[in-house]
Amino acid sequence: MSDILETPSDRLLAAVRGLLVAKGVMTTDEIAERIRITDGGSPAQGAKMVAKAWTNPEYKALMLRDGTAAAEMLAIPMRGLPPLGVLEDTAEVHNLVVCTLCSCYPRAVLGYPPFWFKSAAYRARAVRDPRGLIGEWGTVLPEGVKLRVVDSTADYRWMVLPRRPEGTEGWSEEQLAAIVREGDMIGVTIPSIA
């Protein structure tokens, strides 16, 4: 790329990468691999984990105990990333993930955070009025279901294991993964087959 077309941010990023290599912190190949891993993260990765948990009790137990290990079991690279926690939705509890300070997000399993997740409005409403917030997404919880808001941080990232929709018995993991949306794994929406 020509220096004329580079932005100050491009030059700063190149300088930081150069410094990491020069100081022996990372090699050029390791930097390229980390970029590839980051760019490979997407909601499809998390949906694959959810579908496997819905069909495999042992995998579900691992996912709830150690989300990082569960991701790695499905060849989702987690090395160097904060630990991944997984919150299970039940008939009694629905989980909603927010990062109240910025946009801490499990990128390896959900990709880049959506613009609304990073917004001050989402962060504030998730804490002050979570039922109203998810209601705007069309999510209405049955009476008596507790809504738990969990803060994703720089030290620990969270995703939701939503409840499996009724009527999906006998579906393959691929069919199940196809109905899981990013919002379902954040808690603003609930998977459905309708």
Torsion of CA 163, 164, 165, 168, to 10 degrees: 180
* Annotated catalytic residue 2: no
Q: Any catalytic annotation for residue 99?
A: yes
Query: How far does CA 122 lie from the centroid of its chain?
Result: 16
Separation of alpha carbons 79 and 176, rounded Å: 27
CA 47 remoteness from chain centre? 10
Catalytic: which of 42, 103, 119, 172?
A: 103
Q: Is 104 known to be catalytic?
A: yes
2, 9, 42, 102: the active-site residue: 102
CB 185 within 8 A of CB 110: yes
Active-site entry in 42, 104, 152, 172: 104
Catalytic residues: 99, 102-104
